[in-house]
Structure 1
């Protein structure tokens, strides 16, 4: 081949290479776009599934939390109630099972050593004739129940709400698997869930139902510290039986609404399936499902959510395939255009310039579009919006014309405008990469719509001053309403918790602290190491007052005394207690014995000032006897029992001296910290 021929072929070779390069690059770009759009569609589907899954798990968590919190509070209250009757348990169970949604059965299960079993059965039979402690018969004996076998201790169901079909008398210690959760609850002091089992319904027809028990330990003393103390002080268990269909009811409503099948596995039992809302157990989560872990009273469960066909969109997203086809076709057309238009390169360059501008404009719109779009030119204050932006506020674009930055300011809530403008200024000043703000805008019908606005600068001048911004508006009113509801629920829960704490430490009649709170305040006052006094008073001839005027009048006197004594407390460390009946106690700070006597004298004078008539009293009015114990410098050895005994002895002396008296015992450092001998008759 001659040199001339090679020179003539060279342009053709270059043209072919250029066309081939265009084809390779174009097809690679189309494949990249196809992959990117496929990943984006998959990510959107995953986000949708995650949002639906969180809704289901949130409903499950709320249902479970109500059960555990109710049992924990109930267990603490039963720890303070030494003598529990069947009638009391029935009333309490009726209110608790009704309030704790998902809790279908409440049982009181005392711990009974084997040597005390016969005495326990006799005692229980007085309230429940025919009561016996039994356990399920072995399978080879045809089912039913037999007398409980001897074991170290028994955990029989003493009371149950409701009683119909309940396992009253069944010794739960027969099953080591059930006892595992109870023993763990005993040692930790918190409610623990058992594994899933078939719920026992004695004498009640119907198919077997799966459920689990949440056991809350009940101790003889409040909040024992340490494992050994908890085992020693264990009184029994308050067990709440939760049937899985009831617990899952709210979550299933959410799952059904979102087109999801729910499968629940117990991770402690080798991933055992314990609940399924549909047939076909999933051995593992596939790419269209998701698994979420939850803690159920100390047991790890896994919720597997499997979307049903069509739940994540009825139509297959063909956008990636269309993009690939369009990209391939465009590549072929561009390659053909390049091959046929090499001779008009200058024209092609001009066309590429125009195309680049169109691509830039399209890129701006795509980057900022997710709902309503806006494009704001700062130099002319011209704001271009799409129809969705206007429809979000109940308008059309034509109704808002002419549209400018002032249009946005006019519609924006005055309380949000300053913060939104500050966010815009930070972006325009280069302090933040993007502009983002949440504010309210007035709807055409008069109400406010919460809007999430985001965007960024797309064009600047030679001095780097911003000329043009573009972005989106999203309606987030529903999200804001949900956030407000959650905030209101949190506030209501906090108020309920405060009320529960008050009920645990306050006397219901007088509003004073009760006896259970007395030891805590005494101990805290003594351990401060500063001078402290305890005044105990007893209303004189109160029984005679009740007999003459009636108990309602007596209750009114108790409330009046409590109010009067409370009005006499001046320091934040002073506290008033109702110790029982007509007996009150006041813990107070006093720098000296004289100050202590003066303080108690003012309380006595205030009681006299009430001048409540009492025809059966020598003084013709209601009076009180005061016993005072005061320590100048208490040490850590001073106990609430010693303080109570010292003040009680002084009160006894005041009553023996004729009542309506004040008797004070004052102790120097280290004195009066041992329990004194009782008063002599």
Structure 2
């Protein structure tokens, strides 16, 4: 007979009444109260256990997806750090691999950091790949596609690429929204993916109601894993953002909760306990004593998940008055039966919850298999190190070959040059300075070569004094990434050397090694910039006398040798790092130098002429029988801001023309004193400074 049949329910109170009357008479009121309290306490504990088990099942429905999203974004951001020249096609391949039907991600975005001064150039470069690209932001009272040009701010974070692109926010400057930027700035400083607040997702070109969601932003740096906040801010290049739609993320959790007769409410603790999701519709949330609250970490952001059983789901509700037990003993046996029935229900639900947990553990094992990670568990007090088989295979060995495995085993296999940095990282984690232990080091392979390993772990057991007892984590083989980084570094060095060589070729005369005419204006402008701070400046131009006759008599190869010898002599005579020699054309040269007085400038040029005479290069076609040159010198005591390279060239060239007209092998000088509009002319014989001519 079924205890739940209508006839039995009708007869049972009479039977129980009779039995309870006898029981009350025998054992007394105290025994009845004690039995009731014992059952009530047991029922309350079972209810809490049941709700906690249900809560773990609901949390497991999306917690594993979030873990995968964070790990995927962190791994992808490191790949982008090693690949600075990201293209639209490459990002599309990344996105197609990461945004799948089995992933919680609905959108993947590359958001570079662009200073405002570089925004125009950034838009120009983007238009070469995506015509019509522009950096925009939602207009006030945003509706539909109401976008305007991004307003000026110190730092822009525009969406450069997106996958999928249909309806994505490509070009939208995410810096317009402080809510979005708070999580990005935290991710930048922490070096790990951080989840944002929930907000209406932007879907360009779509008129449907906005969907609530959030983004997990992973920072991308120019170098791999910069240490310290200042280094991370300096090396930041942008963010890899994964967008998650809240209804999609909570779909499976809501189904599990509904199957267990529960309503789910999710609150963001950092937003003053704001309700961000409810499976019970839009009804206002009111706290209930039946609620079970669980704390969840969502990409570094604390959420609270509240489970509320629907009316009638949990048995025993309302059976809370001991007066009823004392007044009507007939209900005692019914309470016991109900408690037993409830225990059976709890057992079946616990079995179902355990099956869900086993499935979650299997999923975690699949994640480890998919990432080819080796696991380790270090018992710090004894030194014992528990590893899995993949940890050993990563080094070309088996776990049996390494037994017994201790921390000494790891130190023996680790590269000596990497031990210090790894131990420092471990100490930082032990002291609480770093949330997790992370290190990269080389380990000896069985075949003799080194394998680059990335180790991540954390302390999960401490003693009463807070000292770490157990540290566990994973090993990942990153040898290929390290090889790629080295190749990129070598290529960059080679490119830098080639650019430097091309730059030198662009400004240096190939024959004489002097600067060419193209570089003349740049050096003049630099000299004038210093001169306008109160320094004098001088320009000397010289031309080899009778050089055509020299070429006709001795040949052009001999003429080239004379020019090279002349250039080398002039360069050897320069005294300051700011002095510069130019070949202005043919046999004409120029020297820019600084001189505190006209006499100093004239003396320096006379020394140049003397050095040329000292070469004593034969020239039968010259009256002096050696190679000589005519010098035109212009000196400004305090040049004004109106002085230009062209005016300097014209003044020195005029003096040079005067020297040639006066018979060559001369030094003619133009002095421009402060406040004077015209310069005075001085002409002197080479090597004889006292013989100036007016």
TM-score range, shorter chain: 0.5 to 0.7
Q: How does 1:573-652 map to 2 (within 5 A)?
A: 573-652=578-657
The answer for the alignment partner of 2:449 in structure 1 is 447
Unaligned runs of 5+ in 1: 64-187, 197-209, 215-251, 269-281, 293-303, 306-317, 343-347, 349-354, 677-681
Q: How does 1:310-389 map to 2 (within 5 A)?
A: 371-389=373-391
* Equivalent of 1:554 in 556, 559, 584: 559
1:337-379 superposed Cα distances (whole Å, 9 cap, x missing partner)? x95999xxxxx9xxxxxx9xxx9xx99x99x977222222233
* Equivalent of 1:508 in 507, 510, 528: 510
1:401 CA displacement? 2.4
The answer for the alignment partner of 2:106 in structure 1 is none
Partners of 1:62 and 1:572 lie apart in 2 by 49
Partners of 1:489 and 1:645 lie apart in 2 by 46
The range that moved more, 54-63 or 521-530, is 54-63
1:574 CA displacement? 0.9
Partners of 1:213 and 1:497 lie apart in 2 by 32
Contact kept? 2:62, 2:253, Cα under 8 Å: no
1:486 aligns with 2:488: yes
1:323 CA displacement? 14
The answer for the alignment partner of 1:151 in structure 2 is none
Q: How does 1:385-404 map to 2 (within 5 A)?
A: 385-404=387-406
The answer for the alignment partner of 1:33 in structure 2 is 60
* Equivalent of 1:666 in 659, 663, 671: 671
Partners of 2:463 and 2:385 lie apart in 1 by 19
Cα–Cα, structure 1 residues 519 and 264, in superposed 2: closer, same or farther, change >3 Å?
A: farther
1:389 CA displacement? 1.5
Contact kept? 1:33, 1:320, Cα under 8 Å: no
Partners of 2:655 and 2:377 lie apart in 1 by 86
1:416 CA displacement? 1.5
Partners of 2:498 and 2:75 lie apart in 1 by 35
Q: How does 1:299-310 map to 2 (within 5 A)?
A: none
Partners of 2:254 and 2:390 lie apart in 1 by 25
1:213 CA displacement? 12
Contact kept? 2:629, 2:665, Cα under 8 Å: yes
Cα–Cα, structure 1 residues 34 and 601, in superposed 2: closer, same or farther, change >3 Å?
A: same
Contact kept? 1:461, 1:467, Cα under 8 Å: yes
- Partner of 1:635: helix, strand, or coil? coil
Partners of 1:265 and 1:473 lie apart in 2 by 36
The answer for the alignment partner of 2:144 in structure 1 is none
Cα–Cα, structure 1 residues 458 and 514, in superposed 2: closer, same or farther, change >3 Å?
A: same
Partners of 1:652 and 1:487 lie apart in 2 by 54
The answer for the alignment partner of 1:468 in structure 2 is 470
* Equivalent of 1:532 in 522, 525, 537: 537
Contact kept? 1:642, 1:675, Cα under 8 Å: no
Using the size of structure 2 for normalisation, the TM-score is 0.52
Cα–Cα, structure 1 residues 619 and 445, in superposed 2: closer, same or farther, change >3 Å?
A: farther
Partners of 1:601 and 1:469 lie apart in 2 by 79
Partners of 1:636 and 1:483 lie apart in 2 by 49
1:556-588 superposed Cα distances (whole Å, 9 cap, x missing partner)? 332222222111111122111111111111111
Contact kept? 2:54, 2:257, Cα under 8 Å: no
1:139-198 superposed Cα distances (whole Å, 9 cap, x missing partner)? xxxxxxxxxxxxxxxxxxxxxxxxxxxxxxxxxxxxxxxxxxxxxxxxx999958989xx
- Partner of 1:537: helix, strand, or coil? strand
Contact kept? 2:631, 2:656, Cα under 8 Å: yes
Unaligned runs of 5+ in 2: 1-16, 91-119, 134-160, 172-203, 218-240, 243-251, 263-313, 315-336, 348-353, 682-694
1:529 CA displacement? 2.6
Partners of 2:421 and 2:475 lie apart in 1 by 16
Contact kept? 1:30, 1:324, Cα under 8 Å: no
- Partner of 1:586: helix, strand, or coil? strand
- Partner of 2:87: helix, strand, or coil? helix
Cα–Cα, structure 1 residues 339 and 457, in superposed 2: closer, same or farther, change >3 Å?
A: farther
Partners of 1:53 and 1:427 lie apart in 2 by 27
Q: How does 1:269-288 map to 2 (within 5 A)?
A: none
Cα–Cα, structure 1 residues 621 and 672, in superposed 2: closer, same or farther, change >3 Å?
A: farther
Contact kept? 1:634, 1:670, Cα under 8 Å: no
Cα–Cα, structure 1 residues 497 and 670, in superposed 2: closer, same or farther, change >3 Å?
A: farther
Residues paired across the two proteins, number: 441
1:644 CA displacement? 2.3
Cα–Cα, structure 1 residues 621 and 322, in superposed 2: closer, same or farther, change >3 Å?
A: farther
Cα–Cα, structure 1 residues 12 and 658, in superposed 2: closer, same or farther, change >3 Å?
A: closer
1:520 CA displacement? 3.4
1:650 CA displacement? 2.3
1:527-569 superposed Cα distances (whole Å, 9 cap, x missing partner)? 2432222111001111222233333333333222222211111
The range that moved more, 573-582 or 481-490, is 481-490
1:77-126 superposed Cα distances (whole Å, 9 cap, x missing partner)? xxxxxxxxxxxxxxxxxxxxxxxxxxxxxxxxxxxxxxxxxxxxxxxxxx
Larger Rg: 1 or 2?
Answer: 2
1:437-489 superposed Cα distances (whole Å, 9 cap, x missing partner)? 22222222222222222223333334433333222222222222333333334
- Partner of 2:627: helix, strand, or coil? coil
Partners of 1:266 and 1:583 lie apart in 2 by 61
- Partner of 2:608: helix, strand, or coil? helix
- Partner of 2:624: helix, strand, or coil? coil
The answer for the alignment partner of 1:522 in structure 2 is 524
Cα–Cα, structure 1 residues 489 and 420, in superposed 2: closer, same or farther, change >3 Å?
A: same
Partners of 1:449 and 1:413 lie apart in 2 by 10
